Every structure is written in structure tokens, then in C-alpha cells.
């Protein structure tokens, strides 16, 4: 039995119960695996594949397709800056450079304290509120430097306090209950 099933049996059963077909739970279980392992490494993909009875190459193909799944280790907070057309027209590329400079990292890099990773991603469907970013599944829209600075400060405080927001999987389960 894989580590994911050993450690999170109740959550896995809760997720599986939400879907008429087991395989449909794959994205939710990939979130759980990512939270457990930090990114979608080989073990994480194999755990998901074993739970669902699918080939691990199927999990691999989804991990490669969706930018929400990480194939390399990332920081605690992943700042996914949309650099697609509408956001680019409103200065997203320059904003991404500014964000990296403020954090002292390159694009796709992670800060030394392991808190922040910056990534460029394709359209996140909030084009009317460009430029924008997504951080751990939450949108920050109409971005400017002041908003970015406030976000970083809030996240640093959150990390220092040890208070965690509910994980993605817990949010999926809570949402499905409503
Ligand atoms: S182009 Fe950035 S949200 Fe659509």
C-alpha cells in the first residue's frame, strides 16, 4: 500500500465517494498527492495510479498538461503569474520581472527560505481583471506593486504564525458538501 493511502485513507475514501466513477477523482487525488509529496514525483504519481487502478503514464500526462501540478519541487506559496495575451497587454511580463526581482529569484525559481516560487502560466480566465496571478488556487486580480507587496507580507506572516489555510483537498470536500 502506498504512502498516500496509508496516511490519508479517510480523505481518499471521502473524495472517491463524490464521484460515480473512481477515475473521475484523479485530479482531486493528484492535489492530495502533491500536498503529501510537495510535487508530483514518481512516487506521488504511482500512488494515485494504484488507488484508481490506472497506468501511471495517465497521471503523468495530466501532471504535464495542467500547470497546477508541479513536476519539480516548489515553495510553500506558488505565485502563478498569467502572462497570456490580455495580461501581457496590461504589463504582465514587466510585472513578472518586478515580482522576481523583489523576491530575488528567476522565473520558475524558489526563494532560499522555501516560501515562494514564481511561475508564468497561460490564461486563468480572469482577463477582465488583468494583470492577475493565482496563489495556491486563490486569485489576486488587478495587480499592481502595492497589492503584490501586501500579498507577500500577508503570506510571510501566515507562514511565520504556523496557521495554515485548509488544503486544496479539504476545500474540494467542503465545496462538494455545500
Ligand atoms: S490572459 Fe490573463 S487571465 Fe486571461
Q: Are 89 and 58 in the same domain?
A: no
175: in domain: no
Mean pLDDT of successive 10-residue stretches along the chain, which has 178 residues? 92 91 95 94 97 97 94 95 97 96 97 97 96 93 96 96 78 64
Residue 169 pLDDT: 73
DSSP string, 15-45: HHTT-SSGGGGHHHHHHHHHHHHSS--HHHH
Evaluate: CB of 123 within 6 angstroms of ligand 1: yes
Tell me which residue of 66, 93, 71, 69 sits closest to 82, measured CA to CA. 93
Tell me which residue of 47, 117, 130 sits closest to 86, measured CA to CA. 130
Residue 166 pLDDT: 73
Residue 167 pLDDT: 74
Evaluate: CB of 150 within 6 angstroms of ligand 1: no
Residue 177 pLDDT: 59
The domain that holds 111 is classified in CATH as: 3.40.30.10
Residue 170 pLDDT: 74
Q: Are 57 and 98 in the same domain?
A: no
The range of the structural domain enclosing residue 59 comes to: 3-65
167: in domain: no
Q: Are 61 and 81 in the same domain?
A: no
Evaluate: CB of 82 within 6 angstroms of ligand 1: yes
Q: Are 83 and 122 in the same domain?
A: yes
Residue 161 pLDDT: 93
C-alpha grid cell, residue 96:
513578472
Number of other CB atoms surrounding residue 169 within 10 Å: 22
Residue 129 DSSP one-character state: G
Q: Are 88 and 145 in the same domain?
A: yes
Residue after which a domain boundary falls, among 42, 65, 88: 65
Ligand 1 test: best mutation among 119, 130, 131, 134, most atoms within 8 Å of CB?
130
Amino acid at each position: 500500500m502506498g504512502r498516500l493511502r496509508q496516511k490519508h485513507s479517510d480523505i481518499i475514501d471521502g473524495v472517491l465517494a463524490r464521484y460515480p466513477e473512481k477515475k473521475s477523482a484523479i485530479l482531486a487525488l493528484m492535489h492530495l498527492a502533491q500536498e503529501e509529496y510537495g510535487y508530483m514525483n514518481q512516487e506521488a504519481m504511482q500512488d494515485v495510479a494504484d488507488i484508481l487502478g490506472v497506468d501511471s503514464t495517465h497521471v503523468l500526462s495530466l501532471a504535464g498538461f495542467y500547470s497546477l501540478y508541479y513536476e519539480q519541487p516548489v515553495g510553500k506559496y506558488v505565485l502563478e503569474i498569467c502572462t497570456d495575451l490580455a495580461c501581457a497587454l496590461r504589463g504582465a511580463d514587466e510585472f513578472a520581472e518586478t515580482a522576481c526581482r523583489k523576491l530575488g529569484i528567476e522565473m520558475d525559481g524558489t526563494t532560499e527560505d522555501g516560501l515562494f516560487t514564481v511561475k508564468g502560466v497561460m490564461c486563468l480566465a480572469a482577463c477582465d481583471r488583468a494583470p492577475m496571478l493565482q496563489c495556491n488556487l486563490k486569485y489576486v486580480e488587478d495587480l499592481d506593486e502595492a497589492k503584490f507587496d501586501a500579498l507577500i507580507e500577508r503570506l510571510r506572516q501566515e507562514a511565520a504564525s504556523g496557521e495554515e489555510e485548509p488544503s486544496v483537498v479539504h476545500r474540494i470536500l467542503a465545496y462538494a458538501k455545500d
